[in-house]
């Protein structure tokens, strides 16, 4: 494998930034069919942020960020909202840029101290393939989305900021990513040694030509989400029963907080 150091873009992508631009730069592209449907990737694999979660986007001293504002269980809906659950086959995706590889590593291994170790052994000819296991899609029905949003507005959505609701997610028990050199080069011994110190969830394949990051979870972890922006058309006053709203499909990834 070439020892040419990875570009500064990868090193930047493997570092947690506070600005909106840097956060957006760390988001991988989902498979084309999901992207056309309106799904976006979470910045890290997570168990939370279920469909029905109300998000608040605001700008403060830390920059622009999106955080959970109300969880479905906080709204005491009667009857509770129901999720339409189906099996999902998600196509394999490939990251061929340094920024994409860096974003994928952060998504799959958000808490691992692996960034500099991986970056030190990558060449600019590296690519990364992500294979998703059997997925589960969970979607809110339209009527339940309206009930959730109405209940949230009744509790009050105060300024500053704007609000969104997650209407669907796709989750997995297994994901595997493979980093290879596009020219089929061997991974050198020093890189093998560094990778070996990171943890058992990272390994070198038997031919010595790829780094494999298998990620297995004891419960489903959400990788993709779909959301709608909440736009009240009259004052969102806490306790009010006459606030009207419209829901606009989200068109770009939110600057969600990382786990």
Residue 205 domain-assigned?
A: yes
HSE-CB for 184 with a 13 A CA cutoff = 1
Q: What are the CA-CA distances from residue 245 to residues 3, 54, 111, 149, 165 (Å)?
A: 56, 14, 38, 8, 12
Residue 179 domain-assigned?
A: yes
pTM of the model: 0.81
Asked whether the predicted pLDDT for residue 179 surpasses 90, the reply is no
pLDDT of residue 160: 66
Domain count, the chain: 1
Who's near 47: CB < 8 A, 6+ residues apart? 219, 220, 221, 222
Beta strands, E only, the chain: 40-46, 54-60, 63-70, 83-88, 93-95, 126-132, 135-140, 162-181, 203-204, 210-232, 245-249
Residue 33 domain-assigned?
A: yes
Residue 226 domain-assigned?
A: yes
pLDDT digits (tens, 9 = 90+) for 198-245: 555 777 787 877 888 888 889 999 999 999 999 877 655 555 666 678
Residue 2 domain-assigned?
A: no
pLDDT digits (tens, 9 = 90+) for 164-175: 999 999 999 999
The two tokens of residue 147 are 């009930």
Range of the domain at 228: 8-249
Residue 259 domain-assigned?
A: no
CA gap 77, 145 in Å, rounded: 11
Residue 186 domain-assigned?
A: yes
pLDDT digits (tens, 9 = 90+) for 104-158: 888 887 655 455 555 555 556 788 899 998 899 999 998 999 999 988 888 877 7
Contact 136, 61 (CB under 8 A): no
Average pLDDT, the chain: 78
Asked whether the predicted pLDDT for residue 43 surpasses 60, the reply is yes
Angle at 224 between CA 178 and CA 247, to 5 degrees: 160
């Amino acid at each position: 494998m070439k020892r040419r150091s990875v570009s500064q873009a990868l090193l930047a992508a493997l570092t947690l930034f506070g600005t909106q631009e840097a956060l957006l730069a760390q988001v991988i592209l989902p498979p084309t069919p999901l992207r056309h449907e309106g799904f976006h990737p979470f910045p890290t694999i997570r168990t939370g942020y279920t469909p029905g979660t109300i998000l608040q986007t605001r700008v403060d001293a830390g920059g622009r960020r999106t955080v959970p504002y109300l969880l479905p269980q906080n709204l005491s809906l009667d009857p509770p909202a129901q999720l339409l659950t189906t099996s999902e086959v998600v196509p394999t995706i490939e990251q061929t840029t340094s920024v994409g590889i860096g974003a994928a590593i952060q998504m799959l291994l958000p808490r691992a101290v692996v960034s500099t170790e991986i970056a030190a052994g990558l060449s600019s000819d590296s690519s990364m393939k992500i294979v998703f296991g059997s997925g589960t899609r969970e979607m809110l029905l339209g009527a339940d989305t309206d009930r959730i949003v109405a209940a949230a507005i009744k509790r009050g959505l105060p300024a500053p900021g704007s609000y969104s609701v997650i209407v669907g997610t796709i989750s997995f028990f297994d994901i595997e990513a493979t980093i290879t050199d596009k020219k089929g080069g061997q991974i050198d011994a020093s890189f093998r040694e560094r990778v070996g110190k990171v943890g058992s969830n990272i390994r070198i394949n038997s031919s010595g030509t790829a780094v494999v990051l298998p990620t297995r979870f004891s419960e489903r972890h959400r990788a993709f989400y779909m959301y709608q922006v909440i736009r009240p058309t009259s004052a969102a006053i806490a306790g009010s029963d006459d606030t009207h709203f419209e829901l606009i499909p989200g068109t770009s990834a939110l600057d969600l907080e990382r786990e």
